[in-house]
A and B are shown apart, each in its own frame.
Chain A
């Protein structure tokens, strides 16, 4: 499904805005000193503050503020010098205070913009409306007991950044590209691990449809969309539902809908349906958060090169195409790996080996780059041997396989196995002469105009040299002798 969908009454435009909740990487919670590790035993990472015992008060974690500012800078966004924590009031068993401390009118980060890379190779800008800090809720488990829900407050009070996009997104592909890019930026900044499986990154998708050129339509907010695949499917479903509804004379109601991955559908969340009135007001237990310009500048100075900057640099400095550059910058560690490999080497060759050979092999073994048996330096060593003609590209593949299996250096393997390319003209001529002598029939055919047989002669020479002869030299010498 693309941005425009055909309905019975003509074309419809899909309009999407995303709210991403990203758990901040920090040792302790936003307002308390309990730990934030994933998967701990129930209620072990809970303080009296997180359990909202009477008289408990919040104290803000400096790291979370820094992480939010870092992220804001990474989203090319305005950092607000004064922001205010507000209470969002509602009742839910995993919300111990009866309110969530969030930011409402005055978030820590204002408007920003990021680039997303679309599958067709184009680039689009998506506006960021805001980023605010807020507490996560606990977790209710509904399947442990026939009549009870179980409440675990380990996650209660963990720091989240809610990143809200403008309704600039025009289809499921763009939505997926947007989430992927946000995830990439957060991982570059080391402000969120982006792990959607563990719920460290969650997306709420606001979907509406309209006739091109019309005002924005009424949107539905879809929750519980916990993977990129689900985002795509949920949008597809919701768009179809809304178009059908409108075309049948109905009206889309503004509501919260739940994505049900098992049934492949979104459905109205009755529990949340009743008019929600969150009664936001500034949290009187906290004071306004005021940031100094110098504080922001100091954080800015520590920002890493971000994905888009890196992508542009790779395309410029290394003359890589958009596709290769995009793959290489997908993870900060991958880009760094590539740059080590490319160091003093042919960058295109390096990109090729990293993407096609190494990532291919790791992918097959379901390994991460961090687990690669071949270090970046060693892969660079292999490429250097290709570049200076010590080995051929073909031999290099064998060396690579050996390196992957043993972790040894390329040079050592080449030495050990005597794989050095033969570049001695005399030695190659000798083999060429032998091969010509051994194949009088093909020689005759060649002479009669079947020049395609050059490939046969090259192959024979290479075979006889056990692949070690320099292919270009073999080509040149053969041509000289045959023509």
Chain B
């Protein structure tokens, strides 16, 4: 299957990546190629097969409910592109 320009636009938007028209077209061609490639899977009979999401054959471990972390505001903000009064600052969000 090949992707339309709109498909590529939609995924780029969902993934929050601004693409120029030229980039959109270039990605469209390559993405279509990849999608066609992965579509071979449709020939595999997977009736009655359970999806496999993890290969680790262990039970999910649970953590004790203890405060063991936090109180490291300087470390948390260390790499912030912009910080103000111990907050991360971003362009104003209007709802």
Direct contact, A vs B (beta carbon within 8 Å):
yes
Chain A positions near chain B (C-beta within 8 angstroms): 26-28, 32-35, 41-51, 59-65, 91, 93, 140-142, 144-153, 258, 269, 271, 277, 279, 282, 284, 286-290
Contact between B69 and A64, CB atoms less than 8 A apart: no
Q: Contact at B62–A27, with CB atoms within 8 Å? A: no
For chain B residues 64-87, which have a beta carbon within 8 Å of chain A?
Answer: 64-73, 75-77, 82, 84-87
Q: What 13 additional pairs, Cβ within 8 angstroms, besides A34-B67, A93-B93?
A: A33-B63, A33-B66, A41-B73, A44-B71, A59-B61, A60-B63, A61-B62, A141-B87, A150-B85, A151-B87, A151-B88, A151-B89, A269-B95
Contact between A64 and B65 (Cβ–Cβ < 8 Å)? Answer: yes
Chain B: minimal CB distance from A167 (Å): 26
**CA gap between A151 and B70 in the complex, in Å:** 16
CB pair A42 B67 closer than 8 Å? no
Give 1 or 0 for each of B49-70: 1 = CB within 8 Å of chain A CB. Answer: 0000110101111111111111
Complex-state Cα separation, A28 to B92, whole angstroms? 30
Report the separation of the CA atoms of residues A231 and B70 in the bound assembly, to the nearest whole angstrom.
Answer: 35
Whole-angstrom distance between the Cβ of B49 and the nearest chain A Cβ: 16
Cβ of A433 to closest chain B Cβ, rounded Å: 75
B18 at the interface (CB under 8 A from A): no
With A93-B93, A277-B14: A43-B86 Cβ-Cβ less than 8 Å: yes
4 closest pairs, A vs B, by CB?
A63-B65, A34-B70, A33-B68, A150-B87
Asked if residues B73 and A148 are in contact (CB atoms below 8 Å), the reply is no
Q: Please measure, in the bound complex, the distance between the C-alpha atom of A354 and the C-alpha atom of B41, giving whole angstroms.
A: 71
- Asked whether, in the complex, the Cβ of A148 is within 8 Å of the Cβ of B90, the reply is yes
Q: Which single member of B68, B69, B75, B92 contacts A147 (CB below 8 Å)?
A: B92
Check A287 against B58 for contact (C-beta < 8 Å): yes
Tell me which residues across on chain B come within 8 A of A290, comparing CB atoms.
Answer: 59-60
Q: A26–B86 Cα gap in the complex (Å)?
A: 25
Compute how far the CA of A217 lies from the CA of B39 in the bound complex, rounded to whole angstroms: 38
C-alpha spacing A144/B90, complex, angstroms: 12
- In the bound complex, how far is the Cα of B14 from the Cα of A64, in angstroms? 32
Known: A33-B70, A145-B84. A61 touches B92 (CB 8 A): no
- Smallest CB-CB separation from A270: which chain B residue? B95
In chain B, what residue has the closest Cβ to A224? Answer: B95
Does A152 contact B87, Cβ atoms closer than 8 Å? yes
- Cβ contacts A to B, 25 pairs, < 8 Å: A26-B65, A27-B66, A33-B67, A34-B70, A41-B73, A43-B86, A44-B73, A45-B70, A46-B70, A47-B70, A48-B69, A60-B63, A61-B62, A63-B65, A64-B65, A93-B93, A140-B90, A142-B92, A149-B90, A150-B85, A153-B76, A271-B95, A277-B14, A286-B60, A288-B60
